[in-house]
């Protein structure tokens, strides 16, 4: 299942990802903006412009660790978190036993901690870009 530029448009990312993970048979890939001050400032500016124009759209910046924990609790194993321009692209797959991988709850996922395998199972070198 692919959710490209969807999470930032949804006010409750955790429920969206929980439902998506429940429907994902093997893998879930989604993109989200980084939780950084430039992204938050940009989103606030866009939201202000939309409000002034009386448009309903609002953008959201969600905490990545909380989104990743939803995937883990749903039985998906984090395989990669990569940069794609201003976006972060996350790939997660169903664990081989169908359950959650061994990862401390609440701990942030970092590129160096994620398996050196892509979502398709091929070996790759983890990114050092952060």
Stated pTM of the model: 0.72
Instruction: Give the mean pLDDT of the chain.
Output: 82
pLDDT digits (tens, 9 = 90+) for 93-128: 997 655 544 444 444 444 434 433 333 333 333 343
Mean pLDDT over 4-30 rounds to 96
Q: What is the pLDDT of residue 95?
A: 76
Distance of CA 84 to the CA centre of its chain: 13
The b-or-e profile of 70-102 (16+ CB within 10 A means b, else e) is bbbebbbbbbbbbeeeebbbbbbbbeeeeebbe
**Count of CB atoms situated within 10 Å of the CB of 8:** 18
Q: What is the pLDDT of residue 80?
A: 95
Q: pLDDT: is 108 or 87 the higher one?
A: 87
Q: What is the pLDDT of residue 98?
A: 56
Percent with pLDDT over 90 in the chain: 72
Percent with pLDDT over 70 in the chain: 73
* Degrees, nearest 5: CA angle 22-113-81: 55
pLDDT above 90 for 70: yes
Task: Tell me the residue ranges of DSSP E strands in the chain.
Answer: 2-3, 27-32, 76-84, 87-94
Domains annotated on the chain, with CATH = 2-113 (3.40.50.150)
pLDDT digits (tens, 9 = 90+) for 21-41: 999 999 999 999 999 999 999
């Amino acid at each position: 299942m692919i959710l490209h530029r969807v999470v930032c448009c949804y006010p409750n990312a955790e429920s969206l990802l929980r439902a998506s993970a429940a429907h994902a048979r093997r893998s879930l890939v989604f993109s989200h903006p980084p939780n950084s001050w430039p992204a938050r400032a940009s989103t606030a500016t866009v939201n202000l412009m939309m409000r002034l124009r009386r448009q309903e759209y609002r953008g959201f910046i969600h905490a990545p660790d909380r989104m990743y924990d939803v995937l883990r609790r749903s039985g998906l194993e984090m395989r990669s978190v990569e940069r794609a321009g201003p976006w972060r692209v996350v790939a997660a797959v169903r664990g081989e036993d169908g359950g959650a991988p061994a990862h401390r709850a609440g701990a942030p996922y970092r590129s160096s901690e994620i398996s050196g395998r892509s979502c398709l199972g091929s070996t790759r070198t983890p990114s050092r870009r952060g």
